[in-house]
Chain A
Amino acid sequence: MDSVLECFNLTKKYLAKTALDGISLSVPKGTVVGLLGPNGSGKTTLLKLAAGLLQPTEGYITVCGFDPGVESKEASAYQPDRVYLNDWMTVGDLVKMMSDFYHDFRTDRAHEMLKDLNIELDSKLKSLSKGNKEKVQLILTMSRDVKLYMLDEPIGGVDPAARDYILETIIANRDKDATVIISTHLISDIEPFLNYVLFLKDGRLIRQGETDKIRTETGMSIDALFREDFKLRQN
C-alpha cells in the first residue's frame, strides 16, 4: 500500500452549504503533507471525515486501507483543532488512559516530551493554559506509533518558541514510513518540513503535489504560492 489516505468523490454537505465538493485524492505514505487553504475551505471537514467523526454525504474515504472505524483509529492518530481534555484529570491520568486504550502508545516518549516542555505529570489539566493544553494534546497524539498522523491546526495556539520544538518533535518522532498531515495557516513555520501539499478552496482541491516540484514549476515558495492562489481581490 503506497497511499495512506484515499478519497473518491468525497462530498460533505451541511444543509445549504457544501463543505467538500467531490474531492478525489491520494496521500502517499512517508510524507509530511501540508493541508492548506483559507478558513472555510474544508480542511477540518476532510480530517474529521478521515477520523470518522463525520459521515460523508457522497463518495468514500479510506484511512490506511480501512473505512473510518476501529481499525482506522488503531492505524492513525488524529488531533482536532479544539481542546478536548477532561479538566478534572491530571496529565499523568491522561497519559495512563491513552496507554490503556492504545497498544501503540509510547509512555516513555510522552514523559520525555512533557519534561522537555516543562509540563508536570501531576498538573491538573484545569490549571493549564490553553497553549499548554494544546501541547499536551499534541504530545498524546505524537506518542503513538502509527502510520498516519492527522493534525488539525497543531501549532495555532502555541507560542513561537515552542513551535520549532513541536514541529521538530513531530518530524523526529515519526517512523520513516509514517505520514503526517498538518492542516495550518502558519505555512512559513511548517514549509521547511513539508514535502507534499494539498490546497483546498471552497471545498475543492485546487492543487496537490510534491513541494520541490511545485517550487520548481512555479518559481515560488509554498507560502508565496498560497498567498497568490488565495489572494483576496479588492474592488
Chain B
Amino acid sequence: MEKTKSVRNPFPWIWKIFKYEMKNSARILLPIYFITLVTAFLCNMFLIDKIERDSVFGILEIFQILYYVVLITSGVVTVVVLARRFKIGLLGDEAYLNLMLPVTIGEHLCGRILSVVAWIPVCLGTGFVSLLILSATKSVTSEIYHFDLWFSLAAIFIIVVLFADLVNAVGHLAKRHRTIVKIVAVTVILSATLRILVGVEDIVRDMVEFEFRYKYNSYIISLTLLVFSAIYGVATYFILKYRLNLE
C-alpha cells in the first residue's frame, strides 16, 4: 500500500542545488570574466601610452579587437555553460547522480534557474566594469549607463538559456534522431513565440499611448521575454516530471 506523502520545505533543497550549480559553473565562468577584465585593463594601458607618447601604434588596435572578442565570447560562453549544465546534469550521465538525490524536479529546475539569474549580473557586471575601465581614458558611449539596455540584455540571457533547456528537454523525448527533433523544436517554438509576440505588440499598440511606449519600449519587450522564459521553464518542468526517460 502506498504511503502518504509529506509536505516539506523546498527552499533548503533549492539552495543546495543552487550552491552546487554555482560551484560547478564558477570554475569555467570566473576565469573568463577575469580574462575580460584583464584585457580591458591592458587596452586601457596601451591607450594611455598611445595618448602620452603616441608610440605603440598597432598594439592598441590589436588589444581593442581582442577585448571585444573576449567580451562577446564571455557572454556566449556564459549561455553555453549554463545551458550545458542543464543538459548534462538532468539529461546526461550526471543525471544518474542528480536525479537520485531526494530532490523534486521542480526543486532541481528552480535551483538551476536561480544560478542562471545569479550569473547574469556577474556576467553583465563584468562587461560594465570592463567598459568603465576603457572609459577611464576615453569617452565610451554613454549608452552603457542606460539601465534599460542592461535589463534587456539580462532578459535575453534568461530567455536564451531557458529556450535551450526546453529544446533539450523536447529532444530528449525522442528515442532516435534527437538532433532533427531539436531542430524542429527550435523552429516550432521560435515561430510560435514570434507569432505571439507580434500579437502582443499589436495589443500594446492599441492599449498604450505612444509616448509611454516610446519611453518604456525596451522594458515592455524585456518583460515580455521574461514571461516567455517562465512559459519555457514551466513546459520544461512538465516534460521532465511526466515524460522523463533516462535511457
Contact = CB atoms under 8 A, between A and B. Distances in A.
Given A48-B246, A53-B96, A55-B243, A65 B16 contact: no
Contact of A101 (B103, B176, B244): B103
A71 B3 CA distance: 9
Contacts of A88: 24, 27
A97 B3 CA distance: 28
Interface stretch (A32-40, A75-83, A156-164, A215-223): A75-83
A85 B93 CA distance: 8
B34 interface: no
Interface residues of B, number: 29
Contacts, number: 69
A116 B209 CA distance: 74
Contacts of B5: 66, 69, 71
A100 B99 CA distance: 15
B16 to A, nearest CB: 6
B103 A84 contact: no
A70 B6 CA distance: 10
A82 B100 contact: no
Contacts of A54: 244-247
Interface in B128-171: none
Interface residues of A, number: 30
A211 to B, nearest CB: 28
Interface in B63-94: 93-94
Contacts of A51: 99-100
B211 to A, nearest CB: 52
A102 B102 contact: yes
A15 interface: yes
Interface of A: 14-15, 48, 51-55, 62, 65-67, 69-71, 73-74, 77-78, 80, 82-86, 88, 97, 100-102
Interface of B: 1-3, 5-6, 8, 16, 20, 24, 27, 93-97, 99-104, 175-176, 242-247
Given A51-B100, A69-B104, A73-B100, 13 more contacts: A53-B96, A53-B99, A54-B246, A55-B245, A65-B3, A66-B2, A66-B5, A70-B8, A71-B5, A73-B101, A80-B96, A82-B96, A97-B20
